[in-house]
Structure formats: structure tokens, C-alpha cells
Amino acid sequence: MSDTSTQIPMVDYLVLGDDPHLQATKCTSCGSAYFDRRNACASCFGTEFSTEPVATEGIVTAFSIVSFAAPGVPTPFVAAVIDCDGTQVRGNIINCEPDADTVSLGMAVKLATYSLGADSAGTEAIGFGFEPA
């Protein structure tokens, strides 16, 4: 990877560096995974959490090819749910044609990062998606 000191992840659960991956907040008693902070686990009400890496490979369990979105959102894009070794992740399918001949249910994908561009201070934002594995 390039120098990460001037990079910022698009969301705080994306970890940059040599081995980019997502991380989840996991309940230490039941293992439920969350991507934001929780006061108590929504499943078992436990209040202890740890931060765990999420598998970078998974399969597509649902998708939609979105042709109409809010102004400013480039279309078409593929919105999907990816099962990453038991953790459900929301993300776009990228680096392939956004059509129903290319994207399919059950398709194997892996995490990929891309640049959202640099801001006025020269900091580059890095986003993530999933590409065909």
C-alpha cells in the first residue's frame, strides 16, 4: 500500500494498512457482531465487547442493481449483503460490470479498497467494496 499517514478510512470500521480489513465490535458473551458502538448487546444484553477482524472473503446473499438514487450518487451500482464467514456485511460489489449477468447470488467475493480522492488538506479517503474472488 501507499503511505497511509495521509489516508483516512471512509468509515471507522475499515482498517487500512498492508492488510486492509473490516473490524466488528463483538459481544464477548454471545459473539454478535456490530459495526457501531452499542450500550448493550441487542441479542443477549451483555455489556462487554471486543474488537475483532472480519473475514475479507465471503459470498453474496442478496443484491440489487440500483439505477435510481439521490442526486449526487453515481449510478448504476450494486448494493449487496455479503456473508463473510458468518458475519453479515453491507457493501457494494465493485470492479465488475453492474449487471445481472455478472453479479449473482452465491457469488464468491473479496474485500477491495479504492480511493475516494483527496480533500483540500491532501488527505485521501479510502473506501471499500467487494470484488469477484
Partner 1 sequence: MASDDIFILGINMTKFGKHPDKDALDLGAEAVMAALSDGGVTMADMGILAAGNLLGSPGFGQSLQKQVGQTGIPVYNVANACATGATALRTVVMAIKAGECDMGLAVGVEKLAGAGLLGGGGKPKSDDDTWTPNGRYGAVASTDGRIGTQTMPGVFAQVGMEYGHKYGGTSFELFAKISEKNHNHSVLNPLAAYSKSMSLEQIMGDLMIAYPNTRPMCSANCDGAAAAVLVSGEKLKSLSDEQQKRAVKIRASVLTSDPWQDGCQILPDVNTLTRMAATQAYEAASVGPEDLDLVELHDCFATAELVHYDNLMLCDEGGAVDFFESGKPFRDGERPVNVSGGLQSKGHPISATGIANVWEVCHHLRGEAGDRQIDGARIGLAHVIGLGSACGVHILESAAA
Letter string b/e over residues 80-98, b meaning 16 or more CB atoms within 10 A of that residue's CB:
bebbbeebebebbbbeeeb
CB 116 within 8 A of CB 128: no
CB 118 within 8 A of CB 101: no
Query: Smallest gap, in angstroms, from Cβ of residue 18 to partner 1?
Result: 21
The smaller minimum CB distance to partner 1, of residues 1 and 11, is found at 11
Residues that bind partner 1 (CB under 8 A): 8-13, 32-37, 42-43, 60-75, 77, 79-81, 88-92, 100, 105-106, 116, 119-121, 123, 125, 127-128
The smaller minimum CB distance to partner 1, of residues 18 and 36, is found at 36
The smaller minimum CB distance to partner 1, of residues 33 and 109, is found at 33
